[in-house]
Amino acid sequence: MNFNKDGLLPPGDYALTLNGLRASILVRGPQNDTPWDVKWRLFLVDNLEALVQQLWDIGIDQIYIDGSFVEEKAHPNDIDGYFECDLMELAKGELERKLNALDPYKVWTWDSSSRKSYRGFTKKQLPMWHRYRVELYPHFGQPSGILDEHGHEQQFPAAFRKTRDSFLPKGIVKIIK
């Protein structure tokens, strides 16, 4: 796995364990003169692991990460991602309840009223971002709120496989056990 000329993972799904992610170019950096914040990226993966383990503990194993973390950016702000889940479990609040029973900080919510400001950021962030610097969203086939180059709303799988500004195709990482 290497970055392409645009500083992106080439299009495709890259299945990695958490240890494989730690050993990958995404954490260790490209073999060039690009300054790379390995310590920060390891910190993000450690935080991601806590949330992924909670998802695994309740039976969710389709977990994908993206965002600037999978780009040739020395110091990404965070890790973005999504996981596939059951609509009814989410709608009934069971998903949040199960996950918050496992998380000591009770960060599992996607309620917009739970978003808080953070200095230097214009976008208000979810509690999981404030605690872990990771945002994982549930996906059950719904639109993501992210528009494509034609102004159409995309589902997470499509939205995470393109850059948001230039709409260039890029790869995504599937976290596996």
pLDDT for the residue 149:
87
54/49 Cα distance (integer angstroms):
9
Instruction: Answer whether residue 172 shows pLDDT above 90.
Output: yes
Contact (Cβ atoms closer than 8 angstroms) between residue 138 and residue 95: yes
pLDDT for the residue 38:
94
Instruction: Please list, residue by residue across 4-25, b when 16 or more beta carbons sit within 10 angstroms of its beta carbon and e when fewer do.
Output: eeeebbeeeebebebebbbebe
Contact (Cβ atoms closer than 8 angstroms) between residue 24 and residue 72: no
pLDDT for the residue 147:
83
Tokens, residue 86: 């059951």
